[in-house]
Amino acid sequence: MDIKQLTLKMNQLVDHHGWYDPASSKTQTPRNLAISLCLEAAEVLDHFQWTEEPKNRQDFEGELADVALYLLQIASVCGIDLEQAILDKIEQNWDRVWQEDIEHESGA
């Protein structure tokens, strides 16, 4: 399954729950989705508090899925082809050199 198919399934889920309805308590605005994405990302981080491994693998997988779903939804609502955006970003970063890499290599 590719990103477009996952996005379609995610849109079906959102529609099924009525969250596209402007009167919904879970209005699908970029702002609301970005907040939810950050909250879910914090839940991913919570699995590593005081440990190097996730506390519960199944719960951890669910949190990663939540992050991915919110990311797909933000891209969808904003009309962004996430697959192309990812490919573009990989290309931009391919030959990029980060300042901390330069400092590390020079011994600074």
Which long-range contacts (C-beta less than 8 Å, at least 24 apart) are formed by 15-24?
A: none
pLDDT at 107: 66
Range of the domain at 33: 3-81
Has residue 96 been placed in a domain? Answer: no
List the structure tokens of 45: 């981080």
Q: What is the pLDDT tens value at each position of the chain, 108 positions in all?
A: 999 999 999 999 999 999 999 999 999 999 999 999 999 999 999 999 999 999 899 999 999 999 999 999 999 999 999 999 999 999 999 998 887 766 666 665
Has residue 24 been placed in a domain? Answer: yes
**Closest Cα partner for 3 from 73, 50, 108?**
73
**CATH code of residue 32:** 1.10.287.1080
pTM value? 0.85
Has residue 105 been placed in a domain? Answer: no
The Cα–Cα gap between 59 and 46 comes to: 11
Count of domains for the chain: 1
